[in-house]
Structure 1
Amino acid sequence: MSRPDRIEIEAAGHVGHVFASRRPSALAPFPDKAQARLAVVLIHGIGASHRYLRRLHALLAESVDTYSIDLPGFGATPRPEHTLAVADHATYILGAMEQLGVLKFVIVGHSMGSQFVTEAALQQPGRIPYVVLMGPVVDSKRRTVAQQTLALGLDSLLYESPSSNAIVFTDYLRCGPRWYLKTLRVMMDYPTDQKITRVTAPVLVLRGANDPVASTDWSRRLAELAPKGRMLEIQGTGHVVQHNRAAEVAEAITAFAGLRTAATYTPQANPA
């Protein structure tokens, strides 16, 4: 699979980057054209970028059109003049994908990205038939910045690989403390557990079994609150599950959304 194309897109008054892996129509894995058009869109969390989604992106792109987005203010994108609400990011995602002609897609969000994809599913439910929340935030029983910081610190020290830590920390540096803290306030105020009750699409809540940020109790509660929710734990990893266990996460997403059969999938190793 070749490297994804980077496309700069302005939508809803903001500029972001979309990393696109699109399969030639002749190689589409599904005979039905409507099903073949169903894509997967990957959304990062606070302070991060598409870089910690690369392994998952590459695996998914083997059988389905796959897009990763660097949202405005993150990665190498321009910084917006004002703090963006969760709804603003969701509007950007939907507008950017519409410009690319992707009208229906499975949406996958990690950490704060789970808030963005939840909001996108509420804004335009007809375009999003499946929602995946990976390591979702913020646990309604641990709603202080101190609690979230402690959980993230424990995760990086005890449960992350050297490569996942390196990617996350360098992205945090690129994001910068000012924008991170502005966005942190938005993240802490978003009531994920209330919003998920209105999502009509099937929802998969996926977590690393050792994740101290998205606990088992919190993830199970979200799955139960979603009208069509289920939960899955991936063993042997923490919060950045999509990097450290990319093969298992790719299998979970494709099975959940019916994107390919088990016979067409061969698990690959997940290097550190």
Structure 2
Amino acid sequence: MTKAIECAVAVEGQGPALVMIHGIGARKTGWDKITAALKDRYTCIRYDLRGHGDSPLPAGPFGLDELVADLEALRERLGVEKMHVIGHSLGGMIGPAYARKYPDRVLSVGLLSTAAFRSAQDSENVLKVVHAMEQKGIPQVLETLTQRWFTESFCERHPEVIEWRKQQVIDTDGEVFLNVFRIYAQTEMSPWLHEINHPCLVLTGEFDGGCNPQLNRKIADALPDSELVIMPGLKHAILIEASDRVTPHLKTFLEKTGS
């Protein structure tokens, strides 16, 4: 039996439930601007993944199944019957995995800046980052990560935001951070994406190296009911760098899927 953790949660707004799942070493606060834009129509539910932010540390290693169990425990605790689920990066893997296991609980799925159909080389490249962090330490590899996450111009204009995001990673327990990075590196959704029959929004940045448009086209093609949005000029950290550009796509998609 997969043991769930009671994750820290913030609930705002009114209307159908909209659960937002952050990525590796991030926080529920990454969804603040999206929440501000959507809470007039949706009950926006943001939570910290296990071992992140205000959520308790897990007792040991965990996998995607445990992260799905945490989400189900959260749904039960909040008394939500059905929900829209949107996830970024690793969150974009947790959402579909949850929808696959609990299809009756889900209204729609948003897969933001996530990956599937990775080649052996793609997967190896992600694991190399994990190995580099294991050997050199997480802070030493952060510069490489932030260059992958944010565009150069954004880094120049908003150094304080880059530092804030780096600090989130540094404040995340090292073992937890490496654990979630391994899940992200080793999860391959391609064998089962065709089982997700909910309306899906697949959205990524044009220059997102690890979650690139080519992979996202394959994700969208594999899903029976999906639409694909490629956001020009952006890399991975679309929620932080361009939430104002992401929000209209989410609004349109959620309005179309209804409640």
Instruction: Tell me the TM-score normalised to structure 1 length.
Output: 0.79
Q: Deviations over 1:188-239 (max 9, x none)?
A: 2211222322111111111122222211101111011111122102233221
Partner of 1:158: 152
Partner of 1:196: 193
Structure in which a larger fraction of residues adopt helix: 2
Q: Is the CA contact (8 Å cut-off) linking 2:6 and 2:73 kept in structure 1? A: no
Matched, 1:83 2:61: yes
Q: Structure 1 CA distance, aligned partners of 2:219 and 2:161?
A: 26
In the alignment of these two chains, the number of paired residues is 238
Q: Structure 1 CA distance, aligned partners of 2:38 and 2:211?
A: 24
Q: Structure 1 CA distance, aligned partners of 2:145 and 2:36?
A: 29
Instruction: Tell me the TM-score normalised to structure 2 length.
Output: 0.83
Structure 2: state its 5+ residue gaps.
131-140
Matched, 1:143 2:123: yes
Partner of 2:243: 246
**Aligned Cα RMSD in Å?**
2.4
Matched, 1:22 2:8: no
Q: Is the CA contact (8 Å cut-off) linking 1:104 and 1:128 kept in structure 2? A: yes
In the alignment, residue 90 of structure 2 is paired with which amino acid? M
Q: Is the CA contact (8 Å cut-off) linking 1:64 and 1:259 kept in structure 2? A: no
Structure 1: state its 5+ residue gaps.
1-10, 24-35, 262-272
> Would the alpha carbon gap of residues 140 and 198 (structure 1) be closer, same or farther in structure 2, given more than 3 Å must change?
same
Q: Structure 2 CA distance, aligned partners of 1:259 and 1:65?
A: 17
SS of alignment partner, residue 35 of structure 2: helix
Deviation at 1:110, TM superposition (A): 0.3
Q: Is the CA contact (8 Å cut-off) linking 2:27 and 2:48 kept in structure 1? A: yes
Deviation at 1:98, TM superposition (A): 2.1
Equivalent residue runs for 1:1-272 within 5 Å: 12-23=3-14, 36=15, 38-137=16-115, 140-141=118-119, 142-144=122-124, 145-146=127-128, 153-156=147-150, 158=152, 160-161=154-155, 162=158, 164-258=161-255
SS of alignment partner, residue 257 of structure 1: helix
Moved segments of 4+, more than 4 Å: 147-152
> Would the alpha carbon gap of residues 260 and 127 (structure 1) be closer, same or farther in structure 2, given more than 3 Å must change?
closer
